Amino acid sequence: MKKSKIGSPLPVPGLMQEPSDPLAPIAPPTADLNLANHFLIAMPSMQDPVFGGTVVYVCEHNENGVLGVVINKPTDMTMQVLFERIDLKLQAGLDMPIVDEPIMFGGPVQDDRGFVLHTPGARYSSSLTVTDEVAFTTSIDVLEAVAAGDGPQRLLVSIGYSGWSPGQLEDEISRNGWLTVGADPRILFDLPIEDRYVAAMKLLGIDPLMLTSEAGHA
């Protein structure tokens, strides 16, 4: 898989750091297809060790390529471990069950960096509003807000992201590598990780057990 040519999110101590520049606004894609705010669902026939069985949330699709985050491939790291690594202390008395939630493997690009999908609200240093219900942030201030008790109520943190150069994802879709469907934030933020693949398939009215390697894309 080629690395995306999309402007690279900036690194941080441990996992994330304060960037010097915000993310650039989304530019229009070169073709009519724009998959921002869509799920990419790996076909059951996909044997790729990185993307087999995954659902990817697409944050950005423009003339430079596609940027997304895998939402159903947990790592061994929890939010609690992440906070410790970046030296963030939770405000005393906070009841935060989210600290036990696993960090996702978001993809193979910049897999030593942290990225956050969350509900919009406060303004952060390097953040892209994808829709009224989903934002994508690469700056550590979103986690500082969580630790202080005033961060977004719903979030998903990943290590790394998934990137495709111009035309690459479209080619993979044409070869039946992926199904595509408009994203549902409830799947992204609320469902148990193990249920997200089947739930994304059901948005298309598809039972994954009925698919074969010859099925077409949506």
CATH of residue 116's domain is 3.40.1740.10
Residue 6: predicted pLDDT: 36
Rounded to whole angstroms, how far apart are CA atoms 169 and 163?
9
Q: Is residue 136 within 8 Å of 59, Cβ to Cβ?
A: yes
Rounded Cα distance between 68 and 134, Å, is 13
- The verdict on residue 2 lying in a domain is no
Q: Is 80 domain-assigned?
A: yes
Closest CA to 38 of 208, 178, 205, 139: 178
Residue of 31, 3, 93, 41 whose CA lies nearest to 198: 41
Q: What is the pLDDT of residue 212?
A: 55
In a domain? residue 23? no
* pLDDT value of residue 99: 77
Does 25 map to a domain? no
Residue 59, token pair as written in the block: 């944050």
Q: Is residue 1 part of a domain?
A: no
On whether the CB atoms of residues 154 and 23 are closer than 8 A, the answer is no
What is the C-alpha separation between 73 and 187, in angstroms, rounded?
14
Give a yes or no: residue 53 inside a domain: yes
Alpha helices by DSSP H, listed for the chain, are 79-85, 141-148, 168-174, 185-189, 196-202
Task: Report, as ranges of residue numbers, the positions in the chain whose pLDDT lies below 50.
Answer: 1-30, 213-218
Contact 77, 90 (CB under 8 A): no
Beta bridge partners of 124: none
Q: Is 24 contained in some domain? A: no
pLDDT at position 92, please? Answer: 66
DSSP 53: T
End-to-end CA distance of the chain: 22
| Stated pTM of the model | 0.83
| Total domains, the chain | 1
Residue 197 lies in domain: 38-206
Q: How far apart are CA 93 and CA 112, in angstroms?
A: 31
Q: Is 55 a domain residue?
A: yes
